[in-house]
Amino acid sequence: MNPYQYGRFLSAMLDEPERFIGPREELEELLVRVSDEQPAAVQLVGPWGVGKSFLLQLLASNHVGLRHFLHLLGPRFRQAPERLHFVLISFTKQTLVGPERPFAVALWERLLAALTAPAPQGEVNPFTKVVAAYLAALPATQRTAPGGKQLLDLLTQLDGAGLRAVLLLDDFDAVGPELKLDDYNLLWSLVQRTSLVITSSQPLSLLAPVPSKVSPFFSLLQQLNRTRGVLSMFFLTQADALRLVLEPPTWDAATAGFRFSRADAMFIIDLVGLYHDFIRLSCEEIYQWHQRFGTAEGPDRIPAAARPIVRVRLRQVLDLSFRLLWGKLKRPEQAALVEVARGDDPPRDLAVFERLMELSYVVFREGRVRPFATLFEEYVLEQGAERDPTGPGVAWPAAIKLTNLERRLVGELLVAPERTLMPEVLARRLYPDDAPMEGLKGRLEVLISRLRGKLRRDDLPGYGVESVRGKGYRLTLPERGRGR
């Protein structure tokens, strides 16, 4: 068993209140607001990996976790916490929103599934009876094609029965820019009936398309900013980061004999920073590695000789997360971050630099301003380097002018000329986001078509991108350019 595995770690932490490691102040503020007599909206804002999703997972386990925080609940729920139900809706994993599946339908389906799920053994789900009665009274046509009205009516019924289903909308970045005015009006109506918790990497006022900003929902956002309804999440403290590395094995008798040393902990924290999710994921990986290859000799579970291997492995494990962090930045922010990683002092655009500090991408460590972690700094420097699209012995003609994305595509294909690369691999490398693969492959096809058009020149024969049926794409080069 791995004490750092997500589900096991969450379950063990919920068993005892003193085990809680993370943003306690934000959790307490959130619970106070969403359990008040009147429904409330709260937005958790912070970069990828600081623990926003983890906090929502903790709330979604409310049949266990709330018992430690009953004193924070409003009087309506303090004596009966089972009447407060947290419904987690993740827009990147569980819920896809698009033309065929409107926002209201996605919310309805997830709410219904959560409220009708069997209660843990020995507990009663007070929501089941109310939901069953509402569905029984619903016309058959509305059961098969529910919309915003049904969603709001059900929440009204629950409120009348003294129940509240708090909607936890995770990773709102994935859908915020795509929603329409009607969707934001629905959010406004939801807050009149129940509490909402929305997580994103930036304020909702920056995510929403301009036409939607006439919704009264955005007046609510301005009010949230004035009343601490927007909670900014940052890194762990150094003390909590050390606890996250050192304590989880001690929570279970089966792993109580395993100990990272303080030197191990400092090595991990230096590589991945004070990010909650990155530390836990790194410890999960290193624990698994140690069970297979490590020894019990000496105080360190990561001896000096093994650190280069562990360093490379963690970089591989966190690569997608780093891509997501990088991809969430605008081009000027990326350029400023590269300047910070290179040690340019001060960065040329101070306004953008301040934005990076606000987003917690840069911190003061080791005597200067740097990206938040050593491995992320290495990643940023790689992104800032001029990627020369010529491989060894390949003469790439200057006449072919490429965009940055086309240049990256050529660079991926030129790593091993004539080797076929699967579309899924290319798509994930070129597009750093969590969008469905089918959508990414469509974007890749458009990019390859555009590149082919540029390579199709009479004065440059031999250059092209070949489709290999059932396998993927490979770059073709003229014989004289292959260096053979």
Domain stop point among 232, 264, 287: 232
User: Helix (H, G, I), strand (E, B), or coil: what is residue 84?
Assistant: strand
434 and 297 in one domain?
no
Domain stop point among 232, 248, 283: 232
DSSP states along 85-115: EEEEEETTTT---BTTB-HHHHHHHHHHHHH
Q: Are the beta carbons of 94 and 173 closer than 8 angstroms?
A: no
84 CB-side CA count, 13 A: 31
Supply 24's token pair: 């306690």
The pLDDT of residue 125: 83
The pLDDT of residue 202: 79
Q: Are the beta carbons of 434 and 427 closer than 8 angstroms?
A: no
Could you tell me if residue 78 is inside a domain?
yes
Supply 54's token pair: 């983890």
> Among all chains, which residue has been given the structure tokens 């503020």?
29
218 and 313 in one domain?
no
The pLDDT of residue 286: 95
Q: Which domain holds residue 410?
A: 404-481
Supply 114's token pair: 């959560």
137 and 92 in one domain?
yes
Q: Are the beta carbons of 49 and 278 closer than 8 angstroms?
A: yes
34 and 86 in one domain?
yes
The pLDDT of residue 389: 47
Which CATH number belongs to the domain containing residue 166 in this structure?
3.40.50.300
Could you tell me if residue 340 is inside a domain?
yes
27 and 100 in one domain?
yes
Could you tell me if residue 390 is inside a domain?
no
Which CATH number belongs to the domain containing residue 469 in this structure?
1.10.10.10
| DSSP-derived secondary structure letter, 235 | P
pTM: 0.72
Supply 4's token pair: 């750092």
Max alpha carbon distance in the chain (Å)?
80
Residues with Cβ < 8 Å from 79, sequence gap 6 or more?
A: none
Could you tell me if residue 173 is inside a domain?
yes
179 and 196 in one domain?
yes
Could you tell me if residue 75 is inside a domain?
yes
81 and 158 in one domain?
yes
223 and 241 in one domain?
no
348 and 308 in one domain?
no
At 299, phi and psi to the nearest 5? -80, -20
182 and 56 in one domain?
yes
Give the Cβ contact number of residue 350 at 10 Å.
Answer: 10
Strand 362-365 and strand 368-371: the pairing is antiparallel
Domain stop point among 176, 210, 232: 232
The pLDDT of residue 419: 65
The pLDDT of residue 269: 95
199 and 82 in one domain?
yes
Could you tell me if residue 38 is inside a domain?
yes
* Alpha carbon of residue 471 to chain centroid: 30
176 and 189 in one domain?
yes
- Where the chain has pLDDT below 70, the residues are 62-66, 92-100, 121-122, 143-145, 224-228, 344-348, 385-399, 415-419, 432-436, 458-460, 479-484
At 412, phi and psi to the nearest 5? -65, -45
**How many separate domains does the chain show?**
4
Could you tell me if residue 228 is inside a domain?
yes
| DSSP-derived secondary structure letter, 229 | -
